[in-house]
Amino acid sequence: MCGIVGYVGKQDAWPIIYEGLRRLEYRGYDSAGIAIVNGQGDLQVRKTVGKVHGLDETTIANQLQGSVGLGHTRWATHGRPSHENAHPHIDCQSRIAVVHNGIVENYLELKQQLIDAGHSFYSETDTEVLTHLVEEGMEQGLSFQDAFRRMGNLLKGSQAISAVLQGHDSEICALRLGHAGGIVVAHADGQAIIGSDLPALLPLLKAESNAGQVGFLETGEMVVLTTAGVQYQDLDGNPIEKEPRLVTQEEVLVDKAGYQHFMLKEIMEQPQAVASAMRERVNFETRQVVFPDFPLTSQEIADLERVVLIGCGTSLNAALVGRYLVERYGGLPAEAESASEYRYRDPFIGPNTLVVSIGQSGETADTVAAMQMVKDKGGRLITICNTEGSQASRIADGSLYMRSGIEVGVASTKTFVASLTILNLLAIFLGKSRGTLDISTTQELVDGLTKLPRLMGDLLADIAPYKQVAHEYAKFDKFLFLGRGIIAPIAYEGALKLKEISYIHAEGYPAGEMKHGPIALVDNAIAIVALAPKDSLYDKVANNVKEVKARDGCVLSVLTEGDTQLAVDVDHALYIPDAPEHVLPMLVTVPMQMVAYHIALLRDRDVDQPRNLAKSVTVE
Ligand code: F6R
């Protein structure tokens, strides 16, 4: 969602806030803005529609001098992307600037009250009511801090808010309500920074020789930043003691490492992501899964009756693969559900239901809300997540971290294969613990996984075939991705990757369902991507491919090396190495990502920041 940055200290605030916004741009890039209180105590605001670099176009003219300020990069919810709707928003007298991430659910009611009291509005946003509420509190004689706290107490909904006051050249207030957005806080050497996420804090971590103490705001907490320090309080104004966490530069460093895009870098990091996901969870001598961080006792595992896997987008596709793995190797009934639907259902969740949420960010509003519902109903809850300290990890009974490092490309790549790796480990662990998998089968499954980093590395060593295929297929405006069994969710993921970064219409479908409707689409204007590695359903997919070819469809297939049967039927083929079925989803994913990436490049798309999207969707 949106990104917030605030700085108070002794340096010029503009470059620090600007750098922070660039680092948080993955959260939204519909517009950006910065407000600085200058040396004379005046509040000055610069805004741009579109990306953060728009603020920098005339750097010298635009830079404002002053050592306290706020910045914002927006993913539009209320009001289209425009100059008026860009944050920071200011009050009637241009004294208070506010930046906001989330949704004020009762903003219409509040806005009407404020209009009745004589306030006038210039934007279509819900955010603007916040500035007027602080202004109203100050008009009633409250201090800036108290007016800010009063504003927080009047709101419904989930959000993070920060404000700065003209003339108050040494104070920033911020608060957090609900789970829509985090606030992280660092203070060192007479300077303080807040941000929606850790990368915004980098300037202070740099200064602090690679590491720094970071405070994480909980819901219902407020923080006041001054050059003298950071004070935490609740929304009644009572001071709170907060234990900071040591964060290293590596945790927050965001760098393309010479690649043209973060997405390509992150695809290339996948062998490492798979290895990191296995680290300390696989005993390579006994070839067993160990899971030292598993939150259920042996008895609780034995008592489990079913597993429900939930997630959104790419993480939902991972959940769909997880369903096969848990059924097949975990020996438990398994379901996979879209968290955005699940949260509004009334599912049966007993004490022996294990719900596994999957999410890169751990902040997706729908996933977090579904988790909360599971918790309220008394289910057991685990999260597979890439972000330590995220909402998901706080709600869950235990977290199985992906350890993929920050993923910046808006399209998820390395965290998808990390999720699939952990889901494999989880299924094997459950099967072994419950006695449905014997030792030698477990060892074979673990062996398959341990070869994965090398096999993925081989797939990524030569990118020429993906580029060549992309050149052949970039001309198509419609794609249908087909797969069966454990590979069906990879067809959905292939379609999702292509549509989100190239804006080409793409649909993922179970290959066996094609004859029940989608086959009507087949003509020479649609590309069919048939995922047909050698697995237990290979012959079935081969028949589906023949059905397409009989209707003159153009077929790109992903096949196992050495396949001579289908290779002659299809128009183009990409190959993956022969591998056991449980690791095929990760291998088949690589050509899907690479072809989508190169088609998007050929179509001149903004690969890392595709239109209308944001890295983590912290509103409903
Ligand atoms: C697609 C993509 C999104 C996310 C979805 C859930 O490439 O990245 O579909 O998967 O928004 O995000 P997380 O995994 O953070 O819950």
* Residue that has been written with the tokens 């989330």 in this structure: 102
615 is known as an active-site residue:
yes
Is any atom of ligand 1 closer than 6 Å to the C-beta of 386? no
Kindly give the distance from the C-alpha atom of residue 218 to the centroid of ligand 1, in angstroms, as a whole number. Answer: 23
**Which ligand 1 atom is nearest residue 312's CA?**
6
Q: Could you give phi then psi for residue 507, rounded to 5 degrees? A: -125, 140
Mean pLDDT of 234-247: 91
Give the angle subtended at the CA of 583 by the CAs of 580 and 588, to the nearest 5°.
110
pLDDT at 305 over 60: yes
pLDDT digits (tens, 9 = 90+) for 478-520: 999 999 999 999 999 999 999 999 999 999 999 999 889 888 9
Token pair of 7 as six digits: 């700085």
Q: Count other Cβ atoms within 10 Å, centred on residue 14.
A: 23
Mean pLDDT of 176-204: 87
Does the C-beta of 411 come closer than 6 Å to ligand 1?
Answer: yes
Task: State yes or no: pLDDT of 431 exceeds 90.
Answer: yes
Task: Give, for 151, the enclosing helix (H) or strand (E).
Answer: helix 144-153
CA–CA separation, 617 vs 305, rounded Å?
A: 32
pLDDT band per the 50, 70, 90 thresholds, residue 272: confident
Least confident of 118-122, 222-226, 615-619: 615-619
Q: How far is the CA of 556 from the centre of ligand 1 (A)?
A: 26
pLDDT in the model for residue 207:
58
* Cβ(617) – ligand 1 distance below 6 Å: yes
- CA 517 to mean position of chain CA atoms: 33
In this predicted model, what pLDDT tens digit does every residue of 578-610 receive, in sequence order? 999 999 999 999 999 999 999 999 999 999 989
| Rounded Cα–Cα distance for residues 481 and 466 (Å) | 16
CA dist., res. 339 & res. 616, Å (int):
14
Lowest-confidence segment of 7-16, 53-62, 376-385 by average pLDDT: 53-62
pLDDT over 80 (residue 436): yes
> Residue 49's CB: how many other CB atoms inside 10 A?
17
The CA-CA-CA angle for residues 484, 487, 492, to 5°, reads 90
Helix ranges (H only) for 183-293 are: 202-207, 249-252, 262-268, 270-278
Could you tell me the distance, in angstroms and rounded to a whole number, from the CA of residue 411 to the centre of ligand 1? 7
Q: Which of 179, 262, 266, 360 to mutate to test the pocket of ligand 1 (most atoms within 8 A of CB)?
A: 360
More confident: 60 or 554: 554
Distance of CA 361 from the midpoint of ligand 1 (Å): 8
Residue bearing the CA closest to ligand 1, atom 13: 359
Nearest Cα residue to 275 out of 425, 155, 162:
425
**Exposure string over 99-136, b if 16+ CB within 10 A, otherwise e:** bbbbbbbebeebbebbeeeebebebebbbbbbbbbbbb
Residue 226 alpha carbon to ligand 1 centre in Å: 36
Would you state the pLDDT for residue 552? 86
DSSP SS3 for 254: coil
Q: Is 361 in the pocket of ligand 1 (CB under 6 A)?
A: yes
Amino acid at 243: E
Q: Mean pLDDT over residues 129-140, rounded? A: 96
Q: Is 399 within 8 Å of 387 (Cβ atoms)?
A: no
Q: Quick one: pLDDT at residue 211? A: 66
Structure tokens at 361: 């960010």
**pLDDT value for 40:** 81
Higher pLDDT, 601 or 249: 601
DSSP for 432-485, please give it: HHTTSS-HHHHHHHHHHHHTHHHHHHHHHH--HHHHHHHHHHTT-SEEEEEE-G
- The pLDDT of residue 293: 73
Question: Which residue's CA is minimally distant from atom 5 of ligand 1?
Answer: 313
Task: Give the three-state DSSP class for 553.
Answer: coil
Question: What are the pLDDT digits (tens) for 1-45?
Answer: 789 999 999 899 999 999 999 988 888 889 999 999 987 888 999
Are 214 and 196 spatial neighbours (Cβ–Cβ below 8 Å)? no
From CA 469, how far away is CA 591, in angstroms rounded? 10
2, 173, 312, 554: the catalytic one is 2
For the chain, the helix, strand and coil percentages under 3-state DSSP, each to the nearest 5: 40, 25, 35
H-helix or E-strand spanning residue 375:
helix 365-376
404 Cβ below 6 A of ligand 1? no
Q: Higher pLDDT residue, 613 or 511?
A: 511
Question: Closest Cα to residue 545, out of 556, 561, 535, 560?
Answer: 556
Of residues 590, 350, 284, 342, the one with CA closest to residue 463: 590
Confidence grade of residue 463 (pLDDT, cut at 50, 70, 90): very high
